[in-house]
């Protein structure tokens, strides 16, 4: 509780005693003294009492992995990043002694090995570790990454896929529109299905027959398999339903036998048998959204592909000026 008293000099003195903290200040008026006392009490109430610790940042990162990462969908990615982080100089420093210069050194070292977009993704993880150490564990007063300049994001890929490239992939897989029994043929079906639906590789590989409705032409994706953790129902084109019908009968719950890593590896092998260059399986999403944008209004398109932010569609939308001119006729 604060006490305010007038001194012989005519000045007013405010004294604050709270939570073991004592402070006083002299002001020319009683009002100013009261205002200072109120502000000081608020500061004491909201301040973080930092505990002295010998923990390094690496030890804090391991604690974060055990207490927070293991409950996340992206646990494997975070565990991999933390394992890499433990080998870097910043991990050896006492977390209370890390300064902005240490963060800059980490940033610059990573930029020599990976692109800015990758560093920014890792940046988010490190920043959350520091914020947790500040807010949950009360080991630091401030996040040392605050005020440090982030690297620039890389330009988004705008790779589209030509009909000729699609044909080459299909030929390499031996795909001929009959029931697909080989892994290569099934991966080709997944490739064509992705172009029809804009679904990601992970969503396609975890898609189960029980969530596919061929009559309504929809497939339900639960939150556990979507990238943003939000469930959605994807509308299927007639061609997408035809592609699913090409898959061989199976007792598996999932429509496709490959997981996302196996799918990617097989796709790269197929591509190596062609003249196609600089093509990733994920480029099917860009191609699909560009195609769907000609058929669906923007809000329906965003809902179908799982974007809550309309601006995110600009990363994939790649309509050229000639096509836009035709829409003006």
* Cβ contact 120:153 at 8 Å: yes
Catalytic residue among 72, 252, 261, 282: 282
State both tokens at 262: 């196996």
Task: Tell which residue, 254, 270, 268, 264, has the closest CA to residue 205.
Answer: 254
Pairing of strands 21-27, 12-18: antiparallel
| Token pair 């179908």: residue | 304
Among residues 200, 232, 271, 286, the one annotated as catalytic is 200
Residue 50 is given by DSSP the state P
282 is catalytic: yes
Q: How far apart, in whole angstroms, are the C-alpha atoms of residue 86 and residue 57?
A: 9
Of 134, 232, 285, 286, the catalytic one is 285
How many residues appear in the chain? 329
Tokens of 326: 């035709």
285 an active-site residue? Answer: yes
Q: Is 317 in the active site? A: no
* Annotated catalytic residue 128: no
- Distances, alpha carbon 228 to alpha carbons 33, 72, 75, 164, 267, in Å: 51, 12, 14, 33, 24
Contact between 120 and 81 (Cβ < 8 Å) = no
Closest CA relative to residue 119, chosen from 128, 130, 129, 108: 108
DSSP for 116-130 reads HHHHHHHHHHHHHHH
Active site residue 303: no
Write out the H or E segment, with its range, that includes residue 191: helix 183-197
> Which is catalytic among the residues 152, 227, 231, 294?
227
Q: Which of 40, 107, 271, 316 is catalytic?
A: 316
Q: Rounded distance, CA 258 to CA 253, Å? A: 12
Distance CA 311, CA 224 (A): 24
Residue 282 neighbours by CB under 8 Å, 6+ apart: 200, 201
Q: Which residues are catalytic?
A: 200, 227, 282, 285, 307, 316
């Amino acid at each position: 509780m604060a006490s305010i008293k007038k001194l012989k000099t005519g000045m007013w003195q405010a004294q604050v005693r709270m939570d073991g903290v004592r402070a006083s200040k002299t002001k020319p008026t009683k009002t100013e003294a009261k205002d200072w006392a109120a502000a000081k009490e608020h500061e004491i109430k909201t301040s973080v009492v930092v505990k002295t610790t010998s923990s390094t940042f690496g030890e804090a990162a391991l604690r974060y992995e055990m207490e927070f990462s293991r409950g996340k969908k992206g646990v494997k990615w975070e565990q991999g990043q933390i394992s890499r982080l433990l080998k870097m100089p910043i991990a050896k420093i006492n977390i209370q002694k890390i300064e902005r210069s240490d963060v800059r050194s980490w940033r610059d070292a990573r930029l020599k090995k990976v692109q800015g977009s990758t560093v920014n993704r890792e940046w988010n993880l490190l920043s959350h570790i520091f914020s947790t150490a500040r807010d949950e564990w009360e080991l630091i007063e401030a996040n040392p990454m605050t005020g440090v300049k982030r690297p620039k994001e890389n330009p988004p890929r705008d790779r589209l896929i030509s009909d000729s490239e699609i044909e080459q992939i299909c030929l390499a897989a031996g795909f001929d529109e009959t029931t697909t029994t080989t892994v290569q043929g099934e991966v080709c079906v997944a490739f064509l299905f992705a172009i029809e639906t804009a679904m990601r590789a992970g969503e396609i590989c975890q898609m189960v027959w029980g969530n596919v409705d061929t009559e309504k032409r929809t497939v339900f994706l639960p939150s556990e398999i979507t990238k943003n953790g939000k469930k959605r129902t994807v509308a299927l084109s007639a061609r997408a339903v035809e592609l699913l019908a090409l898959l061989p009968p199976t007792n598996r719950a999932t429509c496709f036998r490959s997981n996302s890593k196996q799918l990617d590896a097989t796709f790269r092998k197929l591509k190596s048998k062609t003249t196609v260059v600089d093509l990733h399986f994920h480029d099917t999403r860009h191609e699909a959204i560009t195609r769907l944008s000609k058929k669906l209004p923007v809000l329906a398109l965003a809902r179908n592909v799982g974007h809550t932010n309309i601006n995110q569609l600009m990363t994939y939308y790649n309509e050229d000026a000639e096509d836009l001119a035709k829409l003006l006729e």
